[in-house]
């Protein structure tokens, strides 16, 4: 039962009712951990009567798995894929690993997302409910953003929940949003009510409210951690309360009460990306624990299971379990999960666990990550590809191979819209590379990033210097670099050169590019 959120519930009711009436809309619910975002989203899910409800939750460890969120919330309407335009259907099938990678432009996948939501809305109104948006993979977030900007009279409601304590790009400027604050003291009293329903004494509620900032989850945690005498006002409260900024510590304390085998099983679930009961069970068996060791946590209300997948009731509990474990235990769990993947698992899932289990440089793991990155790139998941290439580079022992993988990471980061990170990766790659051809390739990519996102004049200096170094060994590459340098001369001339100087420079670079191109054939 929600307490103290009547106004927010009314806003959600209106969003859903408008969608049923043919007026689409998007609402973002944001706030700190434990403030009640997930509870409001569950309220929406329960009250979306007569609507197709599509849900997904962002998971921090899956944020670099391209289109993992899209696959989750589109799963109930996948049967509509044949109803959308053929090129879009092929692109979406490839992105969701339901068909061969199409190598399509991301636009086709984004358009397919909009089309399949519209097709579903023709049957009955649709409610898309996404929790923990801040951890949704970038590819899915962009697809959802694309769709939300283009729904108008499609009978679609999009409801999003996002934390405000995690850095990230705002979902959409102009989207209606609710910023949740702490509940008031009267609501706090009701939340602290005893089993007989009687409110807590006001003086106790005031102290707990002050210590928690009115955070509902922190208030509930206080109720669990304080004694009956403290809650009744007969005993003094701890100072500070085991809540507020230390809310995660209260989760860690609950995990610490479990047995070693229970903790290891819980850690296995926390490290799993899929939450598949079969996968977690196989991994647990390799660690001398088992699914039975999750029963106590499930009985305590820490976990939710639907018989196929099992998940934590709150992401803070998952975080507390994972980060509260020793590095050695985390590596062991990831190693077990890497060898417990099912046949439908994506290459990136296994590679992620192998990387997390690795200690020091490991070329075999780096190769697995590179294969996963290439698979993500083929599915237009450039954000995931960049992160996998970068992780592969960090595990690569050979400096030249590391430079090559850093170049690939920088190239995908640029396509994913992360120009600043791309420039950093390419600069690092260039500092490691020794092969002249690889150096030229990196300089060319670096020049293009500079040309389109920063200073064309600076890009020109990079491109011309690179062409100078490579023209004897690779005139074709040098010619291409000079062609890009010509483009920069039309974008931005040298300071003080004037129009005549810019024209002269453009002609000179064009003639040199033509000469090298002719020589290369």
pLDDT per position as a tens digit, 152-202: 888 999 999 998 755 554 556 678 889 999 999 999 998 888 666 777 888
- Output Rg (C-alpha) for the chain, integer angstroms: 27
d(CA 465, CA 446): 12
Residue 285 has pLDDT above 80, yes or no: yes
Residue pair 3/187 in contact by the 8 Å Cβ criterion: yes
The pLDDT value recorded for residue 169 is: 46
Same domain (yes/no): 224, 271: no
Burial 234-269 (b: 16+ CB within 10 A, else e): eeebeeebbbbeebbebbbbbbeebeeebbbbbbbb
Helix (H, G, I), strand (E, B) or coil at 247: helix
Query: Do residues 267 and 307 share a domain?
Result: yes
* Total number of domains in the chain: 4
Tell whether 319 is covered by a domain: yes
DSSP state, residue 313 = S
Sheet holding 25-31, edge to edge: 52-57, 126-131, 156-163, 25-31, 176-179
53 and 93 Cβ atoms separated by less than 8 Å: no
Chosen domain end from 252, 277, 306: 252
Strand partners for 156: 126
CA nearest neighbour of 19 among 158, 140, 177, 173: 158
Residues 311 and 454 in one domain: no
Q: Which residue has the higher pLDDT, 285 or 512?
A: 285
Candidate from 189-193, 243-247, 459-463 with smallest mean pLDDT = 243-247
User: Does residue 194 share a domain with residue 118?
Assistant: no
**Residue 498 and residue 509: Cα distance in Å, rounded?**
17
Domain end: 149, 179, 209, which one? 179
Taking the C-alpha atoms of residue 392 and residue 352, their distance in angstroms, rounded to an integer, is: 10
Residue 47 lies in a domain: yes
Burial of 518 (0-12, 13-18, 19+ CB in 10 A): exposed
Residue 236 lies in a domain: yes
Which CATH number is 101's domain given? 3.40.50.300
Domain that holds residue 442: 435-520
Q: Kindly report the pTM of this predicted structure.
A: 0.73
Question: Both 155 and 169 in a single domain?
Answer: yes
Burial of 321 (0-12, 13-18, 19+ CB in 10 A): buried
Tokens of 440: 């030229």
54's tokens: 């599509």
* Percentage of residues in the chain having pLDDT higher than 70: 92
Question: Mean pLDDT, to the nearest integer, of 493-501?
Answer: 65
pLDDT score of 520: 67
pLDDT at 516: 79
Q: What's the pLDDT score for residue 228?
A: 82
Give which of 390, 323, 392 is closest to 351, Cα–Cα. Answer: 392
Question: Do 15 and 145 fall within a single domain?
Answer: yes
Judgement on whether residues 45 and 139 belong to the same structural domain of the protein: yes
134 domain-assigned:
yes
Cis peptide before 240 (omega within 30 of 0): yes
Q: Above pLDDT 90, what percent of the chain?
A: 48
DSSP assigned state of 201:
P
The reply to whether 310 and 272 lie within a common domain is yes
- C-alpha pair distances (Å), 74 with each of 68, 114, 276, 307, 389: 10, 11, 18, 20, 28
Which residues are CB-contacts of 77 (< 8 A; sequence separation ≥ 6)? Answer: 52, 54, 116, 117, 119, 120
pLDDT in tens, 211-227: 788 888 888 878 877 88
Nearest-angstrom CA–CA distance, 312 and 301: 9
Residue 205, strand partner residues:
none
């Amino acid at each position: 039962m929600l307490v103290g959120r009547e106004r927010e519930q009314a806003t959600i009711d209106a969003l859903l009712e408008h969608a049923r009436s043919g007026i689409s809309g998007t609402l973002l619910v944001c706030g700190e951990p434990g403030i009640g975002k997930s509870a409001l989203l569950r309220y929406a899910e329960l009250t979306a009567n007569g609507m197709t409800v599509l849900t997904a939750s962002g998971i921090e460890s899956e944020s670099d798995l391209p289109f993992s969120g899209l696959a989750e919330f589109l799963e109930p309407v996948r049967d509509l894929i044949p109803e959308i335009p053929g090129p879009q259907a092929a692109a979406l099938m490839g992105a969701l690993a339901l068909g061969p990678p199409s190598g399509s432009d991301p636009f086709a996948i984004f358009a397919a997302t909009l089309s399949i939501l519209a097709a579903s809305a023709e049957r009955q109104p649709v409610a898309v409910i996404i929790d923990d948006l801040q951890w949704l993979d970038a590819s899915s977030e962009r697809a959802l953003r694309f769709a939300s900007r283009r729904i108008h009279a499609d009978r679609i409601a999009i409801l999003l929940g996002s934390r405000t304590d995690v850095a990230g790009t705002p979902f959409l400027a102009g989207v209606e949003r609710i910023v949740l604050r702490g509940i008031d003291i009267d609501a706090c009293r009701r939340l602290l009510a005893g089993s007989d329903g009687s409110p807590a004494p006001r003086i106790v509620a005031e102290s707990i409210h002050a210590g928690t900032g009115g955070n509902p989850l922190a208030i509930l945690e206080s109720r669990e951690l304080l004694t009956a005498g403290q809650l009744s006002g007969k005993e003094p409260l701890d100072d500070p309360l085991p809540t507020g900024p230390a809310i995660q510590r209260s989760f860690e304390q609950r995990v610490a009460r479990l047995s070693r085998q229970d903790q290891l099983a819980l850690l296995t679930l926390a490290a799993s990306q899929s939450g598949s009961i079969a996968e977690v069970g196989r991994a647990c068996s390799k660690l001398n624990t088992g699914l039975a060791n999750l029963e106590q946590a499930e009985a305590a209300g820490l976990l939710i299971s639907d018989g196929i997948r099992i998940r934590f009731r709150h992401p803070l509990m998952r975080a507390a379990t994972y980060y509260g474990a020793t590095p050695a235990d985390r590596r062991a769990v990831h190693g077990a999960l890497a060898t417990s993947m099912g046949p439908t698992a994506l290459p990136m899932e296994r590679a992620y666990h192998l990387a997390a289990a690795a200690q020091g440089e490991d070329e075999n793991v780096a190769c697995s990550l590179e294969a996963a990155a290439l698979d993500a790139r083929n599915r237009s998941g450039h954000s995931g590809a960049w992160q996998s290439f970068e992780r592969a580079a960090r595990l690569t022992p050979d400096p030249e191979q590391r430079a090559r993988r850093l170049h690939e990471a920088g190239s995908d980061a640029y396509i994913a819209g992360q120009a600043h990170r791309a420039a950093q990766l390419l600069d690092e790659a260039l500092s490691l590379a020794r092969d002249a051809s690889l150096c030229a390739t990196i300089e060319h990519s670096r020049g293009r990033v500079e040309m389109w996102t920063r200073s064309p004049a600076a890009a020109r200096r990079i491109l011309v210097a690179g062409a100078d170094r490579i023209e004897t060994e690779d005139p074709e590459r040098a010619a291409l670099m000079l062609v890009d340098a010509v483009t920069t001369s039309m974008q931005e001339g040298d300071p003080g050169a004037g129009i005549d100087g810019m024209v002269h420079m453009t002609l000179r670079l064009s003639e040199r590019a033509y000469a090298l191109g002719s020589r290369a054939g």
